[in-house]
Structures are given as C-alpha cells and as structure tokens.
C-alpha cells in the first residue's frame, strides 16, 4: 500500500500521541474519479487490516501529514471532490454524493455508525462494501 503512510496519531493542540491510536495519511492526490474511488477503498481496507491485526488499537483514523485527525485529507474522493472546493457545491461529482444525495458522506455506513466504536470492524467492512458497490 504505497499510497499511504501510517502514523501515531498526535493531538493537534498538545502535540502528545494518542494512546493506541493510528493515523493513515494519503500520500498523493488522485488522478481521476476511478483512481479516487480506488484510493478510498484502499484506505478502508488498510483500516480493516490494522484493526484486525492489532486488537489493542482504540482507533484508526485518517490524518493529514501532521498526524492530526482528518478523514477527508486521507480520502481519495474527498481529495478530488471536497478539499479543493471553495464554493457551495461541496462533493458535487463524488460517487458517494451521487448515490446518497448528501454531502460529507451523509447516509453512508461510516456516517450512520459514526461513534459506534464497539462495532468498528463491522462499520469498516460495511463502508468497504458500500464503496465497492459504487463501481457498478
């Protein structure tokens, strides 16, 4: 998974590392819509792999290059459709937005189970299945 880098997550205000928390950084911008979707799926599969292999982890989050939490900075689709936008057309063109009609990944498994950390692996698996379904 050469497209991502793993970090210890760091609190943006104190600079201290979070206990048992890992961040995933996306190292490149997507080329096009298909590449962005593939990067997003790859991110969630990496999350699943880390959670399954490290049962003591409290959290695996997307992060930016400063190891602070930022799911959008580590998402190929957000890097293509959300972050560069400075207007009200948030997420327009994103396959998630086209499927759900909601910006910021509204009405996806990750949104519906946002704080259900007891079922984190199930939540991640559901998000992978959702994203893979967007290929159709």
Residue 114: per-residue pLDDT = 66
Residue 37: per-residue pLDDT = 97
More confident site: 119 or 20? 119
Confidence grade of residue 119 (pLDDT, cut at 50, 70, 90): confident
In the chain the first and final C-alpha atoms are separated, in Å, by 24
Nearest to 16 by CA among 72, 74, 68: 68
Residue 44, token pair as written in the block: 């969630």
> Is 8 a residue whose pLDDT tops 60?
yes
Contact 117, 110 (CB under 8 A): no
DSSP secondary-structure letter at 38? H
Nearest to 105 by CA among 69, 125, 131, 136: 131
Tell me how many degrees the CA angle 99-47-92 measures, rounded to the nearest 5: 25
Residue 40: per-residue pLDDT = 94
Structure confidence by residue, pLDDT tens digits, 66-75:
555 567 788 9
Name the residue ranges covered by the structural domains of the chain.
Answer: 4-133
What pTM, to 2 d.p., does this model score?
0.84
Structure confidence by residue, pLDDT tens digits, 50-69:
889 887 776 777 666 555 55
Residue 83: per-residue pLDDT = 74
Distance CA 123, CA 11 (A): 24
Residue 43: per-residue pLDDT = 92
For the chain, give the mean pLDDT: 82
Distance CA 55, CA 16 (A): 22
Neighbours of 81 (CB within 10 A): 24
């Amino acid at each position: 998974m050469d497209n991502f880098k793993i970090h210890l997550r760091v609190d943006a205000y104190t600079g201290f590392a979070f206990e048992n928390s890992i961040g995933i950084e996306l190292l490149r911008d997507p080329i096009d819509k298909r590449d962005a979707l593939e990067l997003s799926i790859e991110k969630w599969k990496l999350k699943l792999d880390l959670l399954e292999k490290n049962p003591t982890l409290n959290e695996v989050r997307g992060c930016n290059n400063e190891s602070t939490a930022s799911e959008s900075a580590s998402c190929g689709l957000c890097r293509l459709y959300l972050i560069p936008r400075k207007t009200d057309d948030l997420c327009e063109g994103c396959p998630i937005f086209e499927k759900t009609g909601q910006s910021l990944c509204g009405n996806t498994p990750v949104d519906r189970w946002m704080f259900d950390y007891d079922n984190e692996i199930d939540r991640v698996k559901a998000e992978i299945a959702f994203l893979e379904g967007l290929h159709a």
